[in-house]
Amino acid sequence: MEATAEEVDQAVRAAHAATGALADRTVRAAFLRSAAELLDASKDHLVEAADAETALGPVRLTGELARTSYQLRAFADIVDEGAFLGIVIDHPDDSATPPIPDLRRYKVPLGVVAVYSASNFPFAFSVPGGDTASALAAGCPVVVKAHPDHPATSELVASVLRRAAAQHGIPEGVLGLVHGFEAGVELVKHPLVSAAGFTGSVRGGRALFDAAAARPVPIPFHGELGSLNPVVITAEAAAERAEQIGAGLAGSMTLGVGQFCVKPGLVLAPAGADGDRLVKSLTDAVSDTDAGVLLDHRMRDNFVAGVAERAELPDVDAPVTPGAGSEHTVSPGFLTVPAQRLATEGGDHDLLLEECFGPVTVVARYEDDAEVTSVLSRLPGNLSATVHLSEGEAAGQGRGAEILAELTPLAGRVLVNGWPTGVAVAPAQHHGGPYPATTSTSTSVGGTAVERWLRPVAYQNTPEALLPPELRDDNPLGLPRRYEGRQEL
């Protein structure tokens, strides 16, 4: 049932009222760990519900739920450590020009965060996912706009998180949940919402981003919108291991029925015999991949129409034809095209440079390095960019460094001799990229995702007795900080 404007207002106000209950970092960390424990304990019930709504399968969903629990525990560890507060203390220095007063800086929570769930990850990028976990870790209550593809799962997970909150005296309103398109619009406009996180389409994300910017008081909007995730395969790499690369590409582009945000959607592969070997390996592997179910019929219709439109373009071939499977499934496949068709702007082939959600990729066959450079120069921002190099190129010979330099401006994560599907939850992870991959420079995966929901505050010449304990000289909380120019752990 879709939430009314009044119900959205109630959810936001309840979340705002719960802000103080998250102030204690010890309580906050314990809440996150309890949430992880209860999710694990409810695994069978949650996976069954999610599978009924998404058809993603128990194996995939069980793994995703485990990832989600791990992520909550990882943020609990970050909260305990305290480095995310970014504490810096500088004492007065009259000899500096200009003189430096007593300055103490750290980060505080923004306030209520609106989270917009993703369709393709009912756990890891939805109600209990990275946006929610990182916002709660920052000390921000959350109101989630559930995705219409898994409303029952969203309700079940929200109830688990609320039970975890209650175990630690935190009001259940700390995690609000609303349903419906209009509710999502009302949410981003609410004056008590201080920031938003979104994972979804370019069209939907851009509309919400614009609404966030048009508010009387604009708010940060961290949106993940779409990505082509280009792959470059050098001629030397193809000569060395064409069959291995082709099989790896097939696994990556069909994983999860091609519904991962980092699915490789454009592959630059050499023309010639070695490239032919790669295409044959890809053909064999994709042909052996079963048809699968997309998350809803709208996505299925868009996929079938999108691949048909692309396949009709001049010089486009389909070694394995993607499209409709049975009544509810789609069959994986891929298209090939001369890279020269993509090297110049303004033609119908520009469609091949747009993401097509589902199990399909475009293999652009290039004749020389100049064509690779020309195609890359035309690409928008991406979440990931990948290069497959030969053993010699990986050791510093040839164009390896040059290709990395060409890919770095295009993406937030650059891979060598791997595949982008599979985004590890790790402190050094970055899941973001230049627009339209995301609307900001932050990450939605990994420990630094917490930074999105914080703002710095500096206290100047403030008496010690009035300072927050985090900023006092004697460091009563034992926090990592930069003190008088030296890092203290």
Cα 211 to Cα 110, 119, 167, 203, 207, distances in angstroms? 18, 21, 36, 13, 6
3-state secondary structure (DSSP) of residue 239: helix
Q: 369-376 and 400-407 are packed helices; what angle lies between their axes, rounded to 10 degrees?
A: 20
Distance CA 220, CA 217 (A): 10
Q: In what order do the strands lie in the sheet with 323-324?
A: 292-293, 329-331, 323-324
Catalytic residues: 224, 261
**Exposed (0-12), middle (13-18) or buried (19+): which is 284, by Cβ within 10 Å?**
middle
Q: What SS3 string covers 440-479? A: CCCCCCCHHHHHHHEEEEEEECCCHHHCCHHHCCCCCCCC
Q: In what order do the strands lie in the sheet with 333-338?
A: 317-320, 333-338, 360-366, 266-270, 230-233, 382-388, 411-416
**Exposed (0-12), middle (13-18) or buried (19+): which is 223, by Cβ within 10 Å?**
buried
Residue showing tokens 């090939």: 336
